Amino acid sequence: MKPDHISLLGWSNGGVSVLWSVRPQARIKDDKPDFRSAVAFYPGCRRLEAAAWSARVPTLILSGAVDDVVSARACEQMVSGARGRTARATIIVYPGAYHDFDHPNRGVQVRTGYAFSNDGSGRIHTGSNPAARTDSHRRVMQWLTR
């Protein structure tokens, strides 16, 4: 196995797992490379922001500006706060994009009864955003091949 050839990718809760996994505190103790890079699509960043998050590998975060499941603003603040501890994180926030913006073909839907929503109402929006989908796929391919 060549750890420096492996990148982590995750969406939503999986994106949160990716962000927790790349923190310096999670580093394997033998100082050998463990991952090449990481990509997190629309992760929830509130707890990580409070935990003084930073990344030990290059990390790309892709989020929707109007995502009402998770807060793009919390991710922006998390990355901004990490600037003094790491320069390995990049965040892209897509205007007009909701949760699941990269879905291949899902019209925007309103869903209710969710345990988590930014406003606490349990009401969320999900759906494709063609511009964000296209750009995020391009960026991820560039990220993984650099």
Q: For the segment 96-127, what is each residue's pLDDT rounded down to a tens digit?
A: 999 999 999 999 999 999 998 999 999 999 99
Residue 104 structure tokens: 């291949």
pTM: 0.92
Q: How far apart are the first and last CA of the chain?
A: 20
Q: For the segment 75-103, what is each residue's pLDDT rounded down to a tens digit?
A: 999 999 888 777 689 999 999 999 999 99
Residue 63 has pLDDT above 80, yes or no: yes
Q: What is the mean pLDDT of the chain?
A: 91
Sign of CA dihedral 71, 64, 141, 13: positive
Q: Is 100 helix (H, G, I), strand (E, B) or coil?
A: coil
Domains of the chain: 3-145 (3.40.50.1820)
